[in-house]
Structure 1
Amino acid sequence: MSLPGHGRYDYVPITERADYSWPGGARLAVYIGLNLEHFAFGEGLGAELAPGGPQPDILNYAWRDYGNRVGAFRMLEMFDALRLPASVLANSAMYDYAPQLMAAWRARGDEVVGHGRTNAERQSTLSEADERTLIADATAAITAAEGTPPQGWLSPWIAESRVTPDLLHEAGYTYTLNWCMDDQPVWMRTRSGRILSIPYPQEANDIPAIVARKDGAAQFADTLIDTFDEMLEQSRAQPLVMGIALHPYLVGQPHRLRQLRRALTHIAAPRPEVWITRAGEISRYCHDQPEGLIP
């Protein structure tokens, strides 16, 4: 029986791969993906605190907007205190809507990763031409504001069409965060070359945990700590990547922020085996390695 496949990468068990280390001999690379998102008012997609009623859905729109007005600034203060870098996964609409917020994260020297135009839309439902335009629009806005084009991409809602990796490579992107199939970076084939897949979490991620599974603040913090501690042990055998996916309208809420601080304080404690970094630095390191080392 032959099932339809994607042809993007081969099956290679993690126990049968070449060994290597991260810079300085570290074994576990950790990055934080901070999602800064803007949503349409009265239409389109959006995460929900409670089941939404007819549009305009004031409750959920305002709850999400709290993240840009308050939560993200509280998180910035915490990241500064813990000296944590961030990969800022930004809707390009954020530059017009919340320029002070984008400037605040830019001032830290953080990387901006393409995250579509707005999370009120999915690129997977578009034609190839329209999807190409979406990617071009987001890329142009980030490039104009940051002075350099983004190297990484996370699709809104992690929604891909059958040609998304091809379009990203053709637009100059060197890595994608869309695929969660591994704990190591993996090369993916496109129709014009290859693009690196860097692990992006769907478990150490506040949306599935808090919105979908209804985990409490302390439970989500424990998930991050347990994931980190277990992966640190596992990394003795293979170099691994732990991503942490955060949304300010969720974990920027006061009761969740306090628990998140507990988890990140544990993760940020200096350890020679741990490389706390940004997704783009992981990508650059992998691109510099000899052919065949990265699966």
Structure 2
Amino acid sequence: MREGEKDPGLYDFRPWRDRAKIEWPDGKSVAVWVSPNLEYYEIDPPANPQRKSWPKPHPDIVPYGHRDYANRIGHWRMAEVMEKHGFKGSVSLSVALCQHHPDVVAHANGLDWEFFSHGIYNTRYSYGMDEAQERAIIEDSIRTVRDATGQTIKGWLAPALTHTPRTLDLIAEYGMSYTCDLYHDDQPGPVHVKQGRLISMPYSIEVNDHYGFFVYNMSPREYADTLIRQYERLAAEGERSGTVMCIPLHSYLIGQPHRIGPFEEVLKHIAADGRAWITRSGDIADHFLANDYYDQAAADAARYAEPQA
């Protein structure tokens, strides 16, 4: 490492070509999980000095109303096609939704979907939080989800993907087993934290529908084709060592009438293919930890560690 450059040390280097094999249940080559973001956006949130919640002055009704479509219409349409083809959601939850729209949360819970935390609101960011504030957010998330669903959250995706230097240490301290906030791999792997065992769960920016439609300007069919190509490659490579495909969704996007049909074709394709372990993120984390893959990954990394001075 060059002088003056500092690696944050969140995880170790492990090249894909030389890893211990991960095996998924029933000989499947790729673990596929769908992550609906069930979110709540405030129309006039408190200002964060480091990032604006809305690009225009508040209240900005256009983006608020667009996102509110999710909880009124989009969620139900998306959930219908997921259930039709055997996909259980792993919900990235703005936990305030438990109070604002409890029917949405109860519906997902009744379908046996998993919940993990996406913070309280997606319009409030971790930037600038002190440790007490961040602990309060984590404790609130655990308590609110448990009270609303009976589930104890296992994972974390930071609100609007915002963090502090202590976020990963804190969620591990509170007993969570995985983070979705590291977008660096197609397999789970160990994350360095002060206590406990935390793994990085593959969560894709590249095939997130927000990026597909807002950033890459894809048509619904182009996005569906992208998902199928992502699946086919990961399923083939997973024969060598099990891979993970995450499909992150926002139902105000994918749940639109003109987009849901091509997306349903993707689900039909994956379900019929036979190589996919169609599952939830927490089940992937449990399998990875229960079968010593955490230790095997750490041993792989140790072979590539830089020599100590």
Give TM-score, length-normalised by structure 2: 0.90
Distance in 2 separating the partners of 1:52 and 1:192: 39
After TM superposition, give the deviation of residue 215 of structure 1 in Å. 1.6
Match of 2:13 among 11, 14, 29: 11
Aligned to 1:112: 115
Distance in 2 separating the partners of 1:34 and 1:186: 23
Distance in 2 separating the partners of 1:125 and 1:79: 38
After TM superposition, give the deviation of residue 223 of structure 1 in Å. 0.9
Distance in 2 separating the partners of 1:148 and 1:86: 14
Distance in 2 separating the partners of 1:154 and 1:30: 18
Aligned to 1:98: 101
Distance in 2 separating the partners of 1:60 and 1:96: 21
Distance in 1 separating the partners of 2:137 and 2:181: 16
Q: 1:103 to 1:4 in 2, by over 3 A?
A: same
Match of 2:256 among 253, 257, 276: 253
After TM superposition, give the deviation of residue 174 of structure 1 in Å. 0.9
Secondary structure, counterpart of 2:127 in structure 1 = helix
1:245-284 → structure 2 map (5 Å cutoff): 245-271=248-274, 273-284=275-286
Aligned to 1:285: 287
Alignment check: 8 A CA contact 1:39 1:119 kept: yes
After TM superposition, give the deviation of residue 148 of structure 1 in Å. 3.0
Distance in 2 separating the partners of 1:214 and 1:243: 20
CA RMSD of aligned residues (A): 1.5
Alignment check: 8 A CA contact 2:123 2:160 kept: no
In the TM superposition, what whole-angstrom CA distance separates every residue of 1:127-171 from its partner, at most 9, and x where no partner exists?
222111111111110011122310111111222211111010111
How many residues align? The count is 289
1:135-150 → structure 2 map (5 Å cutoff): 135-150=138-153
Alignment check: 8 A CA contact 1:204 1:223 kept: yes
After TM superposition, give the deviation of residue 261 of structure 1 in Å. 1.0
Distance in 2 separating the partners of 1:157 and 1:268: 30
After TM superposition, give the deviation of residue 201 of structure 1 in Å. 0.4
Match of 2:88 among 76, 85, 89: 85
After TM superposition, give the deviation of residue 270 of structure 1 in Å. 4.7
After TM superposition, give the deviation of residue 220 of structure 1 in Å. 1.0
Counterpart residue identity of residue 182, structure 1: D
In the TM superposition, what whole-angstrom CA distance separates every residue of 1:71-117 from its partner, at most 9, and x where no partner exists?
00011111121121110111111111111111111111111111110
Distance in 1 separating the partners of 2:190 and 2:9: 12
1:1-295 → structure 2 map (5 Å cutoff): 1-2=2-3, 3-43=5-45, 53-271=56-274, 273-290=275-292, 292-295=295-298
Deviates more, 1:211-220 or 1:91-100: 211-220
Alignment check: 8 A CA contact 1:123 1:134 kept: no
Q: Which runs of 5+ in 1 are unaligned?
A: 46-50
Tell me which stretches of 4 or more aligned residues in structure 1 moved more than 3 Å.
none
Secondary structure, counterpart of 2:247 in structure 1 = strand
Counterpart residue identity of residue 35, structure 1: N
Distance in 1 separating the partners of 2:290 and 2:39: 32
Deviates more, 1:197-206 or 1:255-264: 255-264
Distance in 2 separating the partners of 1:142 and 1:10: 32
Deviates more, 1:133-142 or 1:262-271: 262-271
Deviates more, 1:206-215 or 1:220-229: 206-215
Alignment check: 8 A CA contact 1:286 1:294 kept: no
Alignment check: 8 A CA contact 2:95 2:121 kept: yes
After TM superposition, give the deviation of residue 206 of structure 1 in Å. 0.7
Aligned to 2:50: none
Aligned to 1:48: none
Alignment check: 8 A CA contact 2:45 2:124 kept: no
Secondary structure, counterpart of 1:294 in structure 2 = helix
Give TM-score, length-normalised by structure 1: 0.94
Distance in 1 separating the partners of 2:102 and 2:43: 18
